[in-house]
Amino acid sequence: MKVSIIIPVFNEERTIAAVIETVAALAFDKEIIVVNDGSTDKTREALQPFEGRAGIRVYHCPVNLGKGSAVRIGFSMADGDIVTIQDADLELDPRDYYQLMQPIVSGEADVVYGSRFLNSSGGTNRRGMLMFYLANRALTGFANLLFHGNLTDIETCYKLFRREVLPKLKLRASRFEIEPELTAQVLKSGYRIVERPISYKPRTHAEGKKIAWIDGFIAVYTLAKQRIS
């Protein structure tokens, strides 16, 4: 099965090339779609060696639209049997895709989530990460309560979708609320979701982490809005 890997990127000049090269080295049929979300650093220059390279498409947004918008652009360009999202930092390991793909390939699932919290380390061993962990677990619990789910990590970037799922989702999120919006809609629609553990090396805001506390409140609002829509 062909896999479309969407990489939304904003101001990740230090890591984007390494991420693309790691993904490109994976030994399965794939296309890589990089959506440069109006980066203002040297990300565009870092992407130049990949433009025109076989199996890689690079799209440059003229201005910063937000992660959700970049993901939706990537979805619209994808033509793989499986579609997934890859962050442009080095927090997650693309080699985890091998085991994440299996439930879809075998027909067990329509959607697969890579959970950072099924892994024994849980990504909480770094200073400042505990509060993000607790906030994510609370948000995940709220989503499970609203939509009768049984997930452990709704904010994970690693969400794999059988291609037929995406056209049925009505996505409007422009920023980080794309994560709860995707989760709410796949749960509401009754798709079969399977979680698998993934490795996780969290970074701090000083190292470039972009999500902030305000995004947690927006995520709660997004889930509540999806519940009544």
Structure confidence at residue 204 as a pLDDT band (50, 70, 90): low
Going by C-alpha positions, the residue among 14, 7, 54 that lies closest to residue 33 is 7
Around Cβ 67, how many Cβ atoms within 10 Å? 26
Is 88:20 a contact under the CB 8 Å cutoff?
A: no
pTM attached to this predicted model = 0.90
Range list of H helices, 38-96: 43-47, 67-77
- Confidence bin at 210 (pLDDT 50/70/90): low
Cα 169 versus chain centre, distance: 16
pLDDT (mean) for 67-84: 97
Q: How far is CA 123 from CA 7, 95, 149, 224, in A?
A: 22, 17, 22, 27
Structure tokens at 82: 């499986």
Res 213: pLDDT: 67
Instruction: Identify the pLDDT of residue 23.
Output: 98
Predicted confidence band at 17 (pLDDT cuts at 50, 70, 90)? very high
Confidence (pLDDT) at 9: 98
19-63 residue pLDDT tens = 999 999 999 999 999 999 999 999 999 999 999 999 999 999 999
The pLDDT assigned to 126 comes to: 46
Tens of pLDDT, residues 179-202: 999 999 999 999 999 999 999 887
Indicate the pairing of strand 82-85 with strand 3-9.
parallel
Reported confidence tier of residue 136, pLDDT bands at 50, 70, 90 = confident
Q: How many residues appear in the chain? A: 229
User: Over 80: is that where the pLDDT of 175 sits?
Assistant: yes
Question: 84-134: per-residue pLDDT in tens?
Answer: 999 999 899 999 999 999 999 999 999 999 999 886 544 444 444 677 788
Q: Residue 188 has what pLDDT?
A: 95
Query: Is the predicted pLDDT of residue 72 greater than 70, yes or no?
Result: yes
pLDDT at 129 (0 to 100): 62
Between CA 31 and CA 71, with CA 168 as vertex, the angle to 5 degrees is 40
The mean pLDDT of 169-177, rounded to a whole number, is: 94
Name the one residue in this structure whose structure tokens are 């701090």.
Answer: 204
Q: What is the pLDDT, as a whole number, of residue 109?
A: 98
Measured between alpha carbons, how far is 71 from 57 in angstroms, rounded to an integer? 14
| DSSP element (H, E) containing 207 | none
Q: Which pLDDT score is estimated for 211?
A: 64
